[in-house]
Structure 1
Amino acid sequence: MQQNQDSATQQLACENVKKQLKTITKRLEGAKFARDVEDVHKVRLASRRLRAVLRLFGDVYGKERADNWQKQLKKLLKGMSEARDLDVEIIFIEGILSELNYDSRRQVPGLRRALLRKQQARQKLQPKMAKEIRRFEDKNILIDMHLDTERMLFPLRNKEIPRISESLLERLRERISPHKNDVINKLELLKDIENNGGHHKLRIAVKKTRYCLEAADKAFDGSLEQTITKVKNFQTMLGDMHDRDVWKIGLENLIEEEKQRTIEYFGSARPFPKLLPGMQMLKDKIESQRLQLYQQASEYANSEVSEDFWNHIDDVFRRPANAD
């Protein structure tokens, strides 16, 4: 483990790691046994944040060690990704069903069939995800990170440590700069409503910037909170847009698959039209929400997170460490 970083950097690194470890440790068992859909969500979110922290402060723990932790966390995230996507889609379809009235009864069969297929797919994924979680647990990654963090914190506990140092500020500037520049370069992609892939790339750049800000926030006594909230809101809109892009493609495939199943089971496609009103309603809802989200994201980009906002997002890291 390297010891050439200053105490402010080490302390902030450890505080961030401890926070995410706590969430993963608390929620991982629930995700393994499908106790609550929020368990999968919280583990994935904390794992992504932890990977971002390790990219920011990995050398504090030693590059080789941090790289291995990142690699194992990436495998865990990959093993849980599809399950979380299905959880969100299931909740979405359940919400539509709960709002239907008697006049919409023709849509019920198709919606219920879509929900059933998503639930079946999710159930099928659980053993595979549980296996990946057990593999991760067997590596003792969380234990190793906890022990290394406590070892690093121990000699710092009786010291008067400044929250911010010049070394820490330089690190934060270097890490956030490529992410914010990536956002600035990709903001133009939002002007094209058809550029779904570009919108997704913009979301990823925004997400990386957000995680860097979140990792720095404690050193600045929460003064970055307002900025983080704006970045998070923008990321959420872009993420919800991407969800609907994926759902639309999946639904189009599902419609074709259900038609083929009907032919195989009944020897004819004649019963299939009963499912179409509900599936078409679902498709229309996805498309209308996607358009609404695009409009919201575009307006938000112009009013709250314009290019000027991103240009100055790291100004706080450019002040002297001893500034009031």
Structure 2
Amino acid sequence: MAGKSKQRVDPGFCLFGAEIMGKLTEDLLSEADGVRESDDIEYIHRMRVASRRIRAALPLFIICFPGKEYTRLRKSIRAVTRSLGDARDLDVQMDFLTSFLETLPDEEPPLWYAGFLPPGEETEILVPEEEPPAPPEQTGVISRITEVIRRMRSYLAGEMAVSVQPAPPPHSPSLRPGIECLLLRWTERRAAIQPDVIAAVDTFEASGVGEELLAWSRDQIISARLDGTDSHSRYAYETAYRVISERILDIFSYERYIPDPEEVSKHHEMRISAKQLRYTIEIFRDLYPDRLKEEIQSIKHLQDLLGDLHDCDVWLEVLPAFLEEEEARVTAFFGHSGFMQVIRPGIIHLARDRRIRREDLYRSFAAYWETMKSEGLFDRLRQKILEPLVIGHQSTHLRSGSDPIRIAFISDIHGNLPALNAVLEDARQRGASHILHLGDLVGFGPFPEEAIRRIREESITGVAGNIDADTLLMTKKQCKKKDSEKEIALCWTRRRLSKESRTYLAGLPGEIRTRAGEISILLTHGSPMSSTGRIGPDTPDTELSEYAGSAGAGVIATGHTHIPFARYLDGCLFINPGSVGRPHDGDPRASYCILQTQPLSVCHIRIPYDIDSVTDALEAAKLPAIFKTILRHGITIEEARLLMHLPEEKGDTISAGKRAEPEFTWYEPGRRSE
């Protein structure tokens, strides 16, 4: 039974989710006893991380849970995460303070240190017996110091005493007392919340949520094995690509705040975004051959830098408040704040240390971000998670055997569903094992929503086109003006697209790199430099040579021109399949091509389809009549404006008699002169 989501339940995806959730739940439950004992801070850390990972994974697999069950599971796991948060933060801070104390010099003599030992430990002030009794005036001083020490210990232990004046501090202010006092207060706070932590863990175990998750995981795995289900389903790869891409976009939304070191809150939000990106990648890493190890390590390093930066920010915020609270406590206990001159130096020293550390961390963080971008880490990550959707998740795209691979390239559909249907049917009949699109799925045609739906149903992967992007960018203000036929068509198209289809278009990459056998392939809508670049019959060899040298691909497939094209130059095969839904070469039939790997060759194919059904739909939608002329004659909008001054009859096409059947044009590098 699916939950609130209306998506289909994919058995392979739910099996994948069960394998993930089962492992994470086991990790969560295994730490419970250690958290109760509280003798090692790593128990809370591991249990909290496990709960966070489960919280990150649950929404991804929501379609696998009934709605009410999913909501209850998520609430219970969230409660565990929150209950462990304060305890974990205090543990980390106490561990840091203990380490920080080790960097401070010992006191000579250790007089002030004696007053700050934790309650219950004894400290003696040694007076050699062989020394003569001190003069009365010195005896009074020793008694006074001894009383101050006793009251310092009593103060730190929370006991009451009458007010006395503290002894004067040493000439060189000691740093240790302030840090010891801070550590003691944090220790008290941590001990105070431990019962709540234990109660939260007990409540979680009593709820049975952990056992339910384990039982659900076991049931899913057993059922899938009996049915022979593969967890590496296409739906799993699609989901991985979608959510990881969304996480990448989210972390880049904070890039504008990096140059300003004072954007503390935004840097903290970026830390959370980096953590969510890392958790998401780790959830899906088993889908990929290299388990995305390099990308995970790099993003973890970024997260660690931001985490250390945040820790410094927390100290810089907490320390002033601590001094205020402690001064009020000192005043209430002693009747004055004189004792703060013993505590304050160490706290000020710590604040200064954290400020300097933050400045160093900020520089490292900003530099590392630039390194990640310059080395193309995010681009490589996008390509890795996209590749299984292009050629297939198995070893097909790495195969180097004798069997040829046939890939159909389609482009510039422009909302023309009848043309798309005709091309897809023909490509399957001709043995195309994979179909890839080169952008411009919508715009100008009357079936934008239907065309996207068909592309998604067929699991066809591709890139974004310039008209796809322009459609999403149309604003209400622009749509009110509608100064041109293009704006009229794009505004109409945007209104017809569902939210899901708009999200799909927005998530299309600008380029795709993949392999077919030993051949590397680059897919882009325009040129390798721009989505509006044009590669076609008129492109000079010098320009193609530059692309061949810089693109690093054996095949470069582009669209945008609406004109079929193939040329081999400098070891690179350039191909353009023409337009499925809006040809511009004078032939109104749908155009696409099939690339074969062995031998390397391209076959351009023209397919007739029911153009009248499309022009009738354009007329019914009240879209500009010029689009009907473009379709019927296979020409550009400029040519259509000239032609519309001539008489036009329904069904008329240029040289229609010669183009009523499919047509093939083969191009094979090596058999023709370059």
- TM-score w.r.t. length of structure 1: 0.93
Distance across 2 between alignment mates of 1:58 and 1:35: 37
Which residue of structure 1 lines up, in the alignment, with residue 313 of structure 2? 245
How far residue 202 of structure 1 moved from its aligned partner, in angstroms, is: 0.9
Match of 2:85 among 74, 81, 90: 81
Letter of the structure 2 residue corresponding to residue 31 of structure 1? V
1:33 aligns with 2:33: no
- Residue 26 of structure 2 contacts residue 214 of structure 2 at CA under 8 Å; is this kept in 1? no
Task: Name the amino acid aligned to 2:14.
Answer: Q
The secondary structure found in structure 2 opposite 1:25 is helix
Q: CA deviation at 1:44?
A: 0.7
Question: Secondary structure of 1:223's match?
Answer: coil
Cα distance in structure 1, aligned partners of 2:186 and 2:67: 41
Matched, 1:59 2:63: yes
SS of alignment partner, residue 157 of structure 1: helix
- Which of 263-272 and 158-167 deviates more? 158-167
SS in 1 for 2:175: helix
Relative to structure 1, the CA distance from residue 223 to residue 28 in structure 2 (aligned partners, 3 Å threshold; closer, same or farther) is: same
Which AA in structure 1 matches 2:98?
E
**Distance across 1 between alignment mates of 2:233 and 2:299:** 25
Are residues 305 and 139 of structure 1, via their aligned partners in 2, closer, same or farther at CA, if it must alter by over 3 Å? farther
Identify the residue that residue 19 of structure 1 maps to in structure 2: 23
Cross-structure match for 2:282: 214
1:229 and 2:233 equivalent? no
Paired amino acid for 2:73: W
How many residue pairs were aligned? Answer: 324
Task: Describe the SS at the equivalent of 2:261.
Answer: coil
| Aligned equivalent of 1:90 | 94
Quote the residue 1:197 is aligned against.
265
Letter in 1 for 2:377: F
Aligned partners of 2:218 and 2:242: how far apart in 1? 27
1:175 equivalent to 2:214? Answer no
Q: Is the 8 A contact 2:237 2:287 kept in 1?
A: no
Q: Deviations over 1:173-228 (max 9, x none)?
A: 22222211111111221111000001011111111111110000112244301101
Alignment match, 2:383: 315
Q: Is the 8 A contact 1:163 1:220 kept in 2?
A: no
Say if 1:97 and 1:108, in contact at 8 Å, map to a contact too.
yes
Instruction: Answer whether contact 2:257 2:266 (CA < 8 A) is retained.
Output: yes
Q: Which residue of 1 aligns with 2:49?
A: 45
Shift of 1:79: 1.0
Please report how far the alpha carbon of residue 317 of structure 1 lies from its aligned counterpart in structure 2 after TM superposition. 2.3
Amino acid paired to 1:287: R
Contact 1:180 1:311 (C-alpha < 8 Å) held by counterparts: no
Aligned to 2:631: none
Structure 1 runs, 4 residues or longer, greater than 6 Å off: none
Distance between the aligned counterparts of 2:67 and 2:239, measured in 1?
Answer: 15
1:139: how far off? 1.2
Could you tell me which residue of structure 2 aligns to residue 290 of structure 1? 358
CA distance in 1, matches of 2:358, 2:223: 52
* Residues 150 and 162 (structure 1), Cα distance of their counterparts in 2 relative to 1, 3 Å cut: closer
Matching residue within 118, 122, 135 for 2:190: 122
Higher mean alpha-carbon deviation, 174-183 vs 108-117, is at: 174-183
What secondary structure does 1:239 align onto?
Answer: helix
Partner Cα distance (2:374, 2:29) in 1 = 38
Contact 1:110 1:276 (8 Å CA) reproduced: yes
Match of 1:148 in 2: 216
Q: Is the 8 A contact 1:23 1:46 kept in 2?
A: yes
Distance 1:51 1:198 in 2: 23
TM superposition shift of 1:109: 0.6
Q: How far apart, CA to CA, are the structure 1 residues paired with 2:231 and 2:216?
A: 21
More strand by share: 2
State the 1:230 CA deviation.
0.5
Which residue does the alignment assign to 1:187? 255
CA contact (8 A) 1:12 1:219 kept: no
Contact persistence 2:372–2:378 (CA under 8 A): no
CA contact (8 A) 2:18 2:216 kept: no
For the residue of structure 2 that corresponds to 1:41, the secondary structure is: helix
1:189 touches 1:202 (CA, 8 Å); kept in 2?
no
CA drift of 1:314 comes to: 2.7
Deviations along 1:16-54, one digit per CA (max 9) or x if unpaired, are 112211211110121133132101100110111111111
Q: Identify the range of structure 1 (115-124 vs 55-64) with the bigger mean alpha-carbon deviation.
A: 55-64
Q: CA deviation at 1:164?
A: 2.7
Instruction: Give the Cα–Cα distance (whole angstroms) in 2 for the partners of residues 80 and 59 of structure 1.
Output: 28
Give the whole-Å Cα distance in 1 for the aligned partners of 2:285 and 2:246. Answer: 19
Within the candidate set 177, 180, 185, 1:109 is matched to 177
Query: CA, structure 1 residues 56+307, in 2 after alignment: closer, same or farther (shift >3 Å)?
Result: farther
For residue 271 of structure 1, what is the aligned residue in structure 2?
A: 339
Larger helix percent: 1
1:10 to 3, 7, 14: 14
SS at 1:191 equivalent: coil
- Using the alignment, how far apart are the partners of 2:373 and 2:99 within structure 1? 31
Is this contact kept in 2: 1:8–1:168, CA < 8 A? yes
Flag structure 2 segments of 5+ consecutive residues without an equivalent: 111-173, 399-674
State TM-score, norm by structure 2: 0.46
1:161 Cα offset (Å): 4.7
| Distance in 2 of aligned mates of 1:135 and 1:73 | 11
State the structure with more CA Rg: 2
Asked if the contact 1:184–1:310 (Cα under 8 Å) also holds between the matched residues in 2, the reply is no
- The residue type equivalent to 2:294 in the other structure is Q
State the percentage of identical aligned residues: 25
Structure 1 unaligned regions, length at least 5: none
SS at match of 1:304: helix
CA distance in 2, matches of 1:311, 1:185: 16
TM superposition shift of 1:155: 2.0
Quick check: 1:76–1:132 contact (8 Å CA) kept in 2? yes
For the 8 Å contact 1:113–1:275, the answer to whether it is kept is: yes
**Which residue in the other structure is 2:104 paired with?**
100
Letter of the aligned partner of 1:217 in structure 2? R
Q: Is the 8 A contact 1:59 1:66 kept in 2?
A: no
Counterpart of 2:427 in structure 1 is none
- CA distance in structure 2 between the aligned counterparts of 1:151 and 1:310, rounded to whole angstroms: 37
Cα distance in 1, alignment partners of residues 266 and 255 from structure 2: 9
How far, CA to CA, are the matches of 1:290 and 1:159 in structure 2?
Answer: 55
Query: Deviations for 1:92-114, whole angstroms, at most 9, x for unmatched residues?
Result: 11001112223798111111001
Deviates more, 1:137-146 or 1:104-113: 104-113
CA–CA distance in structure 2, aligned partners of residues 222 and 103 of structure 1: 54
